[in-house]
Structure 1
Amino acid sequence: MKINRNGQAEPLTPETFAKVYNALNPPHKFILGLTWHCVERAGAICQLRRADCFDSRGKPLAAIVISRATRKDRVTREIPVTPSIFRLLSQIPLDDGPWLFPSYLNPNRPVPTDTYKLALSQAFKKLRMVGYSSHSARRGAITTLARAGVNARVIQQVSGHRSLENLQRYIDTSKPEIERAIALL
């Protein structure tokens, strides 16, 4: 559990994701939604450009392009726009600027990740959720996929992890899951 910025963030479940999503205001709810559905870090989502997701007429593209310049591993990712991502993108109000989520104070810059993290932290506090952070959506999405039986190599591709070893740290396990696994032997 993450306490005072130490430890690993609790993963969101689909249920806790919905609660937090509904507790946020735009654009923060859209950032959380894309973090979950794209299985991406909040920092990269905050820095998305309009052209990374939409064509010149404002129609969602077939894939979201997350630039290597915004990613920790410096590798560009293309995420297919699924129906749930399409619905989410269709709700985002677009302006004339280059950023999908422009800063309130300087529309020529993207929303600062720290601004999003503060809004998310306030939502967690309001919902009395302890041990969660901006990384909880990514961890939760990965854990949800693993619990649904998705192959680890597929999750690695979906999440953009370079190695299975790094991916394994994101997958949360529960005591009942461990007991069920041992019972199989």
Structure 2
Amino acid sequence: MKQAQTLSDKDVKRVLAYCGTRRHSMRDRSIIQTSILAGLRAKELAALCVGDVYDDKGQVRDQFIISGDQTKGGCARRVYVSRKLRRVLSEYQSVIRTRCEHEPLFRTQMNTAFSANTMCQLFLNIYKQCGLSDASSHSGRRTFITRLAEQGVNVRVLAELAGHRHISTTQRYIDVNDQQMSRAVELV
């Protein structure tokens, strides 16, 4: 099976610029960036509630737990929030400030919770409009894992962050490109 496209910095900029033209631009930008900056699956993004990400004072949590019901494998895991993701979610807070903690973090244009499928469709639509025909809802996750691997993060840490039980699963997510190969031989 063909893997989802890993996004370059140029691709991400194009996608975020396009999201800025959409009716729900802040929501769409926040979804794309949360996917890339936390490596969350579409199902996990769709299942997030306001109280998962924000504390009772409306501040972005340093980390949060996604329950087994929210994950693919049925195992809860901790999601760590980087400074970049904190900025994204802090901006997004203005969109959801009147929502209760148990309400969906991201809502459809019909003001309902996304399902895993409708979240996947949102990703496909956005990427298609940006000319990224090989990108899917998993592209942010592959980009997250690949970027961390490029920075030398241990595959065991990557597996924990991704919620994979086996590092062999994580290794399949890591994209290898010519720049990495060139840098690698310079280490000798």
Does residue 14 in structure 1 map to residue 19 in structure 2? no
Partner residue, 2:107: 102
| 8 Å contact kept, 1:61–1:81 | yes
Distance, in Å, in 2 between the alignment partners of 1:165 and 1:27 is 33
TM (normalized to structure 1)? 0.84
Cα–Cα, structure 1 residues 38 and 176, in superposed 2: closer, same or farther, change >3 Å?
closer
Partner residue, 2:22: none
Does residue 69 in structure 1 map to residue 57 in structure 2? no
Partner residue, 2:138: 135
Partner residue, 2:43: 43
| 8 Å contact kept, 1:17–1:137 | no
Segment of structure 1 superposing worse, 119-128 or 171-180: 171-180
Structure 1 unmatched runs, 5+: 1-5
One-letter identity of the residue aligned with 2:16 = Y
Cα–Cα, structure 1 residues 83 and 103, in superposed 2: closer, same or farther, change >3 Å?
same
Distance, in Å, in 2 between the alignment partners of 1:69 and 1:61 is 20
Give, in angstroms, the shift of residue 182 of structure 1.
Answer: 7.0
For residues 5-62 of structure 1, what are the alpha-carbon distances to aligned partners after superposition, in whole Å with 9 as ceiling and x for unaligned?
x511111123322321232223222111111111121210121011101122211122
Aligned residues with identical type, % of pairs:
28
Structure 1 SS opposite 2:48: coil
Runs ≥4 residues deviating over 6 A: 182-185
| 8 Å contact kept, 1:13–1:144 | no
Task: Count residues in correspondence.
Answer: 178
Give, in angstroms, the shift of residue 68 of structure 1.
Answer: 1.3
Distance, in Å, in 2 between the alignment partners of 1:57 and 1:176 is 44
Structure 2 SS opposite 1:169: helix
Distance, in Å, in 1 between the alignment partners of 2:185 and 2:7 is 25
Structure 1 SS opposite 2:157: helix
Give, in angstroms, the shift of residue 184 of structure 1.
Answer: 7.2
Partner residue, 1:156: 159
Cα–Cα, structure 1 residues 183 and 55, in superposed 2: closer, same or farther, change >3 Å?
closer
For residues 106-129 of structure 1, what are the alpha-carbon distances to aligned partners after superposition, in whole Å with 9 as ceiling and x for unaligned?
53xx22333333332232222222
TM (normalized to structure 2)? 0.83
Segment of structure 1 superposing worse, 130-139 or 52-61: 52-61
Distance, in Å, in 1 between the alignment partners of 2:119 and 2:69 is 19
Cα–Cα, structure 1 residues 26 and 137, in superposed 2: closer, same or farther, change >3 Å?
same
Structure 1 SS opposite 2:52: helix
| 8 Å contact kept, 1:39–1:159 | yes
| 8 Å contact kept, 2:43–2:119 | no
Select 1:173's aligned residue among 172, 176, 183: 176
Segment of structure 1 superposing worse, 175-184 or 123-132: 175-184
Partner residue, 2:89: 89
Structure 2 unmatched runs, 5+: 20-24
